[in-house]
Homo-oligomer: A and B are copies of this chain.
């Protein structure tokens, strides 16, 4: 398989934003671009699994990654087809094996509903005893990544109100996905990895969202040993990261950050006097999330 190239946002894609008119604080008429949000109903072998609200790009990666991160699609599952119907807002993933996930699905529909984007019962499955590879992480990579990601053209910079997750190798962004659903962005990365047979062991995941239990669980399931964010932590997210050996870095802004798990694997090689402050648009970047 040829190595898939880098994949970055395309804010000029007209399907992803819409011009909307309104008034500003002075009462003046104004027009701006606003991100699209549309439903996508994911089927696995003809069974309806979930309706996700998504910006709409990369539906195949979103479907595969969602099923993968829920443990409904396994490493040895062979995907025989993925059919996206843009008019019906549906996507159907077909696998060789049609059993296995049925029992899981029964359990899921009993425990979810879902107020908070969490399918708790299933999400914890497969984490028991998991230890991520003990990869070192250089602080110079963190600053280089933040600088590049915060200035790269993106839907966020064009329209705001969208989350981003970036798969990186050392100081290089490889795949940058955005979505109105925070977990969709990371699921799209998981789908890309699954589709291209990419492993996570020497990768790093950068996200705009908070470091909650669910983000930590997803990152661990993807086999990625480091998770970095501009945003803050929850206590359970920190606890889970320590359990699985995930390096967890939050509140990365300007030259500041906090490492609450795996600090012993950090190499403080950056020249702090050379690191710039947080640019104004990056502050706005964080502010638009939620």
Chain A residues with CB under 8 Å of chain B are: 17-18, 20-27, 30, 32, 34-39, 41-42, 48-54, 66, 70, 108-121, 139, 159-161, 163, 180-184, 187, 208-214, 229-238, 250-251, 253, 255-261, 263, 266, 268, 272, 283, 286-290
Contact = CB atoms under 8 A, between A and B. Distances in A.
Contacts of A120: 39, 51, 53
A37 B266 contact: no
B50 A115 contact: yes
A266 B23 contact: yes
B24 A258 contact: yes
A148 to B, nearest CB: 18
B258 A53 contact: no
B115 A181 contact: yes
A114 B114 CA distance: 6
Contacts of A266: 23, 27
Given A51-B121, A288-B232, A37 B213 contact: yes
B161 A211 contact: yes
25 contacts: A17-B235, A20-B235, A22-B260, A26-B272, A35-B234, A37-B234, A49-B113, A50-B112, A51-B120, A52-B118, A54-B116, A108-B113, A109-B109, A112-B113, A114-B118, A115-B117, A116-B117, A116-B181, A117-B117, A161-B250, A180-B212, A210-B289, A229-B290, A283-B283, A287-B287
Nearest to A248: B22
A41 B111 contact: yes
A115 B184 contact: yes
A48 B111 contact: yes
Nearest to A230: B287
Contacts of A24: 256-259
B35 A257 contact: no
Contacts of A286: 286-290
A95 to B, nearest CB: 17
Contacts of A290: 163, 182, 208-210, 229, 231, 286, 289-290
A154 to B, nearest CB: 14
Nearest to A288: B232
Given A161-B211, A161-B233, 6 more contacts: A35-B235, A37-B237, A38-B236, A48-B111, A115-B187, A159-B232
